[in-house]
Amino acid sequence: MRRRRLIWQIFPPFLLIILIALVAVTWIFTTTLDDFYREETRHGLEAQGRLVASQVKDILLSGHPDSLDALSKKLGKQSGTRVTIILPDGLVIGDSEEKIRRMDNHRNRPEVRVALSGRVGTATRYSHTLQQEMIYVALPIRDNGQVIACVRTALSLARVDKTLKTVLFQIINSGLLIALIAGLVSLWVSRRISQPLVEMKRGAERFAGGELDRRLPIYHGEELGGLADAMNRMAAQLNDRIRTVVRQRNEQEVVLASMIEGVFAVDNAEKIIRINQAAANLLGSDAETSIGRSIQEVIRKPELQKFIVRALESETSIETDISLHHRGEDRCLQAHGTPLRGADGQKIGALVVVHDVTRLRRLETLRRDFVANVSHELKTPITAIKGSVETLRDGAMEEAESGRYFLEIIARQAERLNAIIEDLLALSRLERDAESAEIVREQKNLLPILESALLTCSSAAQAGNVKLKLFCSEQLSARINAPLFEQAVVNLLDNAIKYSDAEGLVTVEGWQDGGNVMIKVQDRGQGIPAEHLPRLFERFYRVDAARSRSIGGTGLGLAIVKHIVQVHKGEVKVYSTRGSGSVFTLSLPVH
């Protein structure tokens, strides 16, 4: 249903009230005026009748009633009224308008009957004689208390009606003019009332559209002015509150977006009501499209779904560790669930915080493995030394050949212990210097450093009958710490030589690829199984522990290489195929 404007709800009733009031006033006025004119006419006729009655009485008492007809015509002509003289038997003996011979007996006329009874008679009716409506007033003429005749005066109502019509016409014209003026005034008043309301409506629409900085004009009227002022204050308060809410929401969004922990909230219907980007990344979903969807649609992890259900059912905080497969790798998550309550204290859902503790768990595993490996690596030479010493104490010292054999075991295991300790100290220094930024790097040509590394490993290569070849441009340079870089290359060469077959070949190649310098060390040995590659650079990790110890390895060489490369802001990669050898590639920034 179409809604009407306020002005058309105010103006038509105003106009209708004015018209009804004018019609009522006109009707009352004309009715009163008609009654007034008739009453005044009756009084006038009665006064004229009394004047005529005194003259008629004298003539009747003088005994000349024949002259009354002439008197009636004379007085009627002078007064402009009809004068009729009637005897008690109803006979008309004088009339100013008609011949008395043609007139009927008037005894039964109402006004005559009343007058002959001694009172003033009045009547209004249509006169068949004059063919018009007349008002009659009849007065008795007495002599010694007896009614001897009556005088009736009459006047046509046509003049009264004409006068009333003239007055009514003037009233109607005046009323129409007044109605027009009143209508215009009511239209002006209606517009004056409705226009501020229209402006307020437009202002409210602007407020609803977010334009809270604009203000409504303050009107002079107390009610409209007060309403406009109240709406302006409301807009100002809304603007302040909305800004506060937006600021708080933005702060919350920034906090949630900056958190590395995944945070999401679900309602009692298991639908997500809030989720940050970290949680979306962990769950492999989109933060914006996840809101309003059920956890079964968004979270494809059964263990996490079960935990969320438990969090919704629990009245206290709960936590657990969850393992899941994400983006091709196993992740360990620590989930913490807390009931979510509204302002009234009623439970409306649950808040779940998810920490990715994969790196922490991995570091803990590495720490345990490191402690176990260190213990094992140190225990082996110590056991060998201890056993050799005990054997010497038991009498082996008396035999020169046996004594030398066990002393060589002690010396060899001592050298191994020393190598392990030196490598551990080297790793410790690398980590310490990297944290304190004490490692100095300079722009150096790489060819002399690579040649020096090959020279260092040449004796081991000759002992194993392994050939070494170098391919590198003299202009190749990078920003490095020369001793550390040489140590990394030596460690890679040492491993390549140890795991190469007799008559094998180890090549070292250097080149520039964009903004990086690439150093490749390749052997053609037995290769490394694929399952060992992810952990190859861990401390004391060995692919073939027995062979590694037999050839004198400490298990820390590749870990040292990894730390040296990290100090140089680079990375190390390994590619290996079983039976085809291994390729270690160092990538270092040029500057």
Q: What pLDDT score was predicted for residue 290?
A: 79
Q: What pLDDT score was predicted for residue 130?
A: 66
Q: What pLDDT score was predicted for residue 27?
A: 83
- 40 plus 140 within the same structural domain: yes
Q: What pLDDT score was predicted for residue 170?
A: 81
Residue 504 lies in a domain: yes
Whole-angstrom distance, CA of residue 129 vs CA of residue 515? 137
Residue 543 lies in a domain: yes
Any idea what the CATH number is for the domain that residue 423 is in? 1.10.287.130
- Give the tens place of pLDDT for each residue, 9-45: 666 777 788 788 878 887 887 788 778 888 888 888 8
Residue 179 lies in a domain: no
Amino acid identity, residue 259? Answer: M
Residue 584 lies in a domain: yes
Q: Which domain holds residue 512?
A: 442-589
Q: Select from 308, 323, 356 the last residue of a domain.
A: 356
The beta-carbon contacts of 66-71 under 8 Å, at least 24 apart in sequence, are: 68/93, 68/94, 69/93, 69/94, 69/95, 69/100, 70/94
Residue 192 lies in a domain: no
Q: Select from 356, 380, 399 the last residue of a domain.
A: 356
Whole-angstrom distance, CA of residue 344 vs CA of residue 116? 100
Q: What pLDDT score was predicted for residue 377?
A: 60
Q: Where are the alpha helices (DSSP H) in 259-357?
A: 277-283, 287-290, 295-298, 302-313
* Cβ contacts of 194 within 8 Å, gap of 6 or more: 5, 6, 7, 10
Residue with tokens 């990078």: 478
Sheet holding 347-356, edge to edge: 272-275, 262-267, 347-356, 329-341, 318-326
Amino acid identity, residue 516? Answer: N
Amino acid identity, residue 16? Answer: L
Query: Of 368, 66, 20, nearest to 175 (Cα)?
Result: 20
- 416 plus 549 within the same structural domain: no
Residue 170 lies in a domain: no
- 56 plus 67 within the same structural domain: yes
- 454 plus 562 within the same structural domain: yes
- Give the tens place of pLDDT for each residue, 166-179: 877 887 787 788 77
- 456 plus 475 within the same structural domain: yes
The total number of structural domains in the chain stands at 5
The residues of the chain scoring below 50 in pLDDT are 1, 546-550, 552
Q: What pLDDT score was predicted for residue 297?
A: 79
For the question of whether the overall pTM of this predicted structure is more than 0.85, the answer is no
- 482 plus 416 within the same structural domain: no
Q: What pLDDT score was predicted for residue 300?
A: 75
- 21 plus 127 within the same structural domain: yes
Any idea what the CATH number is for the domain that residue 527 is in? 3.30.565.10
Whole-angstrom distance, CA of residue 218 vs CA of residue 224? 8
Cβ atoms 385, 414 nearer than 8 A: yes
